[in-house]
Structure formats: structure tokens, C-alpha cells
Chains A and B, each alone.
Chain A
């Protein structure tokens, strides 16, 4: 059991499942945990790109934004049924990932970082221009997504477990993907592209597919985020949000999806705690990020493995 790849996520999932029954049942704590799980889901999907395919995307917030705005568009049209909303959010993000990825994958390294950033900004400005959906000010949902017309997701406890269930599913999916034949090619191309090509693998289709899968999961996280806040704004797509996501992945450590999971939860909790403890909490949070980069090279997971 020395490998935290499995026991660590299981521990975290067990903790999250138990949380509502351990005195964390009040509204605010559950909202916070839901936020942590939603960003955990987004971070796990980004991990597939960064840690698996070696694609450092600085535009992943746009994927969440696609999912969130799909909820908005449907909500505005009076559609709130989960069997419409969830697939729409996932498909919207996957389609956006497919279109932008087809161009972005042609570049590599720094250029890839920059072009994903550029596409993220394009999405950001597009959403700010959507006057029907509130433009810069954002859009307040009429109601949360319904399941067969029932307003289950309004119940915080149910929503908590929906988030948890989807998080577990996505974590497991990324874990399985990375170990599969597909994931093996992705990892090989990340470590030594020339070798992969000399074996007969052209990395592009593998990377594009990974980009689309990660985008789809990001879209799912966006649908959940919109439901959690019952509000969507262009700020969801801001490039700083993409930076946050990237940091969650690194904070946890690139060893596997479990790192991203732990990193996201730590990030959301520390951010919450600091922002309550002081007004100018970013004065502490900024240097904290820098120190993490300097000293926490293997991420939190690396610490656990050493300890």
C-alpha cells in the first residue's frame, strides 16, 4: 500500500462521502465541498492533458465555461431537464475542444500554451458579448437542473453526492485511460516523441482525442459549477481561472490523477480559509504559490510518498 495512487483517492472519496454526516452538514460547508469536488473534476481532466499527453493548456477554464453557458442557453430557453442539460454541456465543450484543438495541437511547447490561452480569451470575450445572457454581468439561473422534472439537485445533500459520484467516475476514467493502450501511446509521445514516431505512431490523433476527452470532462464540471452557484458569468472563463486549474494540477503533483484531485481540494480549501481570515489574502496566497513551486517539486503527493 505504499503507492498513494489508489489509497489516497479512496481515502479522499471516503472523507467526502462521510463529510455531510460529520457535522459539515450546514449549507456553507457543503457548498464549499461541492466547489472543491467540481474543481477537482476539472483538475483531473486537465491532468490527462498535462500529465498524460504533455499538453500544458492555459485555456482549460474555457471548457468549463462552455459547459456552464450551455446550462445558461438552455435555461433561457426554458429547458432544465438533466437529460438535456448534461449532454449539451459536455457536447458543447467537446466540440469547442475539437475545433480549437485541431489548430492548437499543430503547435507545441510554449506556442501551445499561448494558443490555448488565445482560444480561452476568445471564448471569454464571446461570452461577455452575449447581451441576452447578461454580458459581463452574468446570468442568474431560474432554477437548478431537474431530473425527470424533479428538483432533486436543489437538495444540497443530493447535489453533494451527485458531484462526488461524477468525480469518482471521472477520476476512474482518467486512471483507466492512462493505463490503456491509448494512454501508453500518449505518455510515450510525451516523453520521447521521436521514438513514438519511429515506432509508427503519429501523435496528433491521440493528442487531439485526449484534448477532446479532457474538454468534455471540463464541460461536465462547468455544468455542475453553474448548478452549484445558480449563476454563470464570463469570469468563469477568465485566463486567471485557467491558471488556477493548472496550479491545482501541479500543487497535487503530476504523478497521476490522484495528485490533481488532492491539489484541487487543497487549493479550494486554502483559498476559502485565507479569504475569510483576511481582506488582502492574495498577499499571502501569491507567495504561497511561489513557495510551492520552489519547494514542493513532487507536489503534495510527492510529499506523501517521501513521508
Chain B
């Protein structure tokens, strides 16, 4: 493993990290503000990818596809909120886990019925195709850099919204002390809906952006969901800042681990089993990190509730 490869892995890790952050941000806000576990947040990411891919195919343009997919993802999130989630706010976590598990089963099957079981492709837009020479002999895909930039920009926007606006102030207050916000005369249901729709749109945005580099297929949100949960638990539930730090950490650990582990394992075993064992160890790495962090800081790195 040389520095060039490490740099590429590092960039890939950061890029995966910002995608994770977009999904985890909605999850942690919904969780922090409403005390609501939404397992279905991952399928919202999947639905975003499907919406982007199909709308891009329909309009023949990546940009139109992206532009249309965002409001569509928002509407989709609000419909889910109206049909399912709002009936679960005052139920226990167990009920929330189970009902949103049902949503996953339905939607994973639903996209299969609507779009077919075969993976869909979304082309990389002309403008962002090709690569950027980062150093001698290293051409890094422009699109991946664009994802990184868009993700960081969204993170900055989110930071501004949460830290600097009145709605953001309420969201933060809600994450620390929901009864107090209600006491201030704020319609908490309205706030919930707002946060929910926004979270769904962020997840959808991540889905559209990931669509050109991943295959769009049923169940694509499941593994990401689990990683997003790892992120918010490591970061501290309800903390956007924690989600950001943890998302980058998980993205890097996951990606660099995948790159390094098989090589590392080759020191101990033959090539083919090193590849397999290394990949498995790499998959386990984030969970080991999480277990280690929780063992020492049971409330995560940046607990929102003191």
C-alpha cells in the first residue's frame, strides 16, 4: 500500500462519510427531537436513489432528475409520516422498531414490483465525468469529488439551519427538552413534521448522489441504515455535530479498512482466504469501534442530553 492508494482510499472514505452523514443527520434529529427510532430511514435513501435514477432516465438529464427527486423525496417522507410514523410518536421504542421494520419490508418489495428486481443505473452527468489529476499519475473521479463537496456544503447549511435559525433553535431545544418546547407554545407536531420531511429529503439527496456510483437495487438502504445507526450512536443521539464527526470516522474506518485489511491478512495467510477474511474483518471493524466507544462512553462522543 503506497501513499497514492492511501490518499484515494482516504478520499473515498470521506466521500462515503458525507453520504453517511446526510442519512445519519436526519436520523439523529428525528431521534433526538421526537425520541423516535425510524428503521425505515434507510429505505428513504433507497427511494431517493430510485426516484433520481428513474426521473433522470425519464427527463434524459441528471440535473433535472436531481431537481425533481428532491421534492419528490420530501413528499414521500411526508406521506410516510402521515400514514405511519405520526401514530407511533407516543409509543415505546419497541413498537417503533417493529412498525418501521414493516415499512422496510413493504418498500423493499414495492420497488421490486415497480422498478423490477434488476439493479438500475444512473449515468454520471457530462459536466462531472472524467477525473481531476490530484498528483502525478493519480486521476480522481470528478463526480466523487463533487459528492464530497456537495456533502460538505449540505453539512455547512445544516449547521447554519440548526445553530443560527429559530427553527433550528427549537429543534435543538426539542432534542434536549421536548416538554419545554411545548410549553413555549410551539406546535410540536408541526415541528416534528418539518424535521421529518427535511430528514427524508436529506436521505433522498444522499440516495440520488450515490446512484451513479452504486447500483440502485432493492435493499440498498438496509446496510447503510445500520451504519447510520452506528454513526448516531457513536456520535451521541440527537447531536448533529456528533453525527458529522462519527460519519467521517465510520466512512474512513470502513473504506480504509476494506483497502488495508486484505493486505494485512496476507501476512498471515494465502491470497484468496486473505481477501475473504480481510473483507470480513473490515466489515466488522466499525462495529468493533462502536462497541469500544460505547464501552467507555455509553452515551456516545457528544451526548445531546446531559
- Confirm or deny: A21 has a beta carbon within 8 angstroms of a beta carbon on chain B: no
The one of A113, A126, A283, A286 that contacts B97, using a Cβ cutoff of 8 Å: A113
Chain A residue at minimal CB-CB distance from B265: A129
- Mask, B250-279, CB within 8 Å of A = 1, is 000000000000000000000011001101
The one of B104, B280, B281 that contacts A286, using a Cβ cutoff of 8 Å: B104
- Mask, B265-306, CB within 8 Å of A = 1, is 000000011001101110110011011001100111000000
Contacting pair A119 B87 (CB below 8 A)? no
Contacting pair B279 A129 (CB below 8 A)? yes
- Mask, B108-136, CB within 8 Å of A = 1, is 11101100000000000000000000000
Interface residues of A in 102-128 (CB under 8 A from B): 103, 106-107, 109-111, 113-115, 117-119, 121-122, 125-126, 128
Contacting pair A56 B109 (CB below 8 A)? no
- Confirm or deny: A78 has a beta carbon within 8 angstroms of a beta carbon on chain B: no
Contacting pair A283 B276 (CB below 8 A)? no
Contacting pair B229 A122 (CB below 8 A)? no
The one of A50, A58, A280 that contacts B109, using a Cβ cutoff of 8 Å: A280
Interface residue stretch chosen among B88-96, B171-179, B239-247:
B88-96
- Confirm or deny: A18 has a beta carbon within 8 angstroms of a beta carbon on chain B: no
Whether A287 contacts B102 in the complex (CB less than 8 A), given A103-B291, A115-B290, comes out as: yes
Chain B interface helix/strand/loop/mixed: helix
Interface residue stretch chosen among A80-88, A166-174, A289-297:
A289-297
The one of B112, B113, B280, B299 that contacts A126, using a Cβ cutoff of 8 Å: B280
- Mask, A42-72, CB within 8 Å of B = 1, is 0000000010000010100000000000000
- Confirm or deny: A4 has a beta carbon within 8 angstroms of a beta carbon on chain B: no
List A contacts of B39 (CB < 8 A): 243
Whether A283 contacts B109 in the complex (CB less than 8 A), given A111-B299, A113-B97, A135-B276, comes out as: yes
Q: How far is the CB of A279 from chain B (nearest CB, A)?
A: 9
Contacting pair B102 A290 (CB below 8 A)? yes
Chain B residue at minimal CB-CB distance from A114: B233
How many chain A residues sit at the interface, stated as a range, is 35 or more
The one of A125, A128, A286 that contacts B103, using a Cβ cutoff of 8 Å: A286
Contacting pair A294 B99 (CB below 8 A)? yes
- Confirm or deny: B160 has a beta carbon within 8 angstroms of a beta carbon on chain A: no
Chain B residue at minimal CB-CB distance from A254: B94
- Confirm or deny: A239 has a beta carbon within 8 angstroms of a beta carbon on chain B: yes
List B contacts of A121 (CB < 8 A): 226, 283-284, 287
The one of B98, B113, B229 that contacts A114, using a Cβ cutoff of 8 Å: B229
- Confirm or deny: B101 has a beta carbon within 8 angstroms of a beta carbon on chain A: yes
List B contacts of A288 (CB < 8 A): 102
Chain A interface helix/strand/loop/mixed: helix
Chain B residue at minimal CB-CB distance from A54: B94
Q: How far is the CB of B265 from chain A (nearest CB, A)?
A: 10
Interface residues of A in 226-253 (CB under 8 A from B): 239-240, 243, 246-247, 250
- Confirm or deny: B82 has a beta carbon within 8 angstroms of a beta carbon on chain A: no
- Confirm or deny: B37 has a beta carbon within 8 angstroms of a beta carbon on chain A: yes
- Confirm or deny: A13 has a beta carbon within 8 angstroms of a beta carbon on chain B: no
- Confirm or deny: B105 has a beta carbon within 8 angstroms of a beta carbon on chain A: yes
The one of A122, A247, A280, A286 that contacts B287, using a Cβ cutoff of 8 Å: A122
Q: How far is the CB of B284 from chain A (nearest CB, A)?
A: 5
- Confirm or deny: A305 has a beta carbon within 8 angstroms of a beta carbon on chain B: no
List B contacts of A246 (CB < 8 A): 94, 97-98
Whether A243 contacts B276 in the complex (CB less than 8 A), given A114-B230, A122-B287, A288-B102, comes out as: no
Contacting pair A289 B233 (CB below 8 A)? no
Q: How far is the CB of B296 from chain A (nearest CB, A)?
A: 10
* Bound-state Cα–Cα, A2 to B230, Å: 45
Chain A residue at minimal CB-CB distance from B300: A111
Whether A293 contacts B109 in the complex (CB less than 8 A), given A115-B294, A131-B277, comes out as: no
Contacting pair B105 A58 (CB below 8 A)? no
Chain B residue at minimal CB-CB distance from A100: B291
- Confirm or deny: A285 has a beta carbon within 8 angstroms of a beta carbon on chain B: yes
Contacting pair B233 A129 (CB below 8 A)? no
The one of A113, A125, A131, A282 that contacts B283, using a Cβ cutoff of 8 Å: A125
Contacting pair A118 B290 (CB below 8 A)? yes
Using a CB–CB distance below 8 Å, which chain B residues touch chain A?
31, 37, 39, 84, 87-88, 91, 93-95, 97-99, 101-110, 112-113, 222, 226, 229-230, 233, 237, 272-273, 276-277, 279-281, 283-284, 287-288, 290-291, 294-295, 298-300
Using a CB–CB distance below 8 Å, which chain A residues touch chain B?
50, 56, 58, 103, 106-107, 109-111, 113-115, 117-119, 121-122, 125-126, 128-129, 131, 135, 239-240, 243, 246-247, 250, 280-283, 285-290, 292-294
Given contacts A107-B298, A293-B91, 11 further A-B contacts (CB under 8 A): A56-B94, A58-B97, A113-B93, A119-B291, A121-B283, A131-B272, A281-B109, A285-B106, A290-B99, A290-B102, A290-B106
Closest 7 CB pairs of A and B: A129-B280, A286-B106, A289-B102, A286-B105, A282-B109, A125-B283, A290-B102
User: Can you list 6 A-B contacts with CB-CB less than 8 angstroms, sorted by A residue number?
Assistant: A115-B294, A121-B284, A121-B287, A125-B287, A246-B98, A283-B106
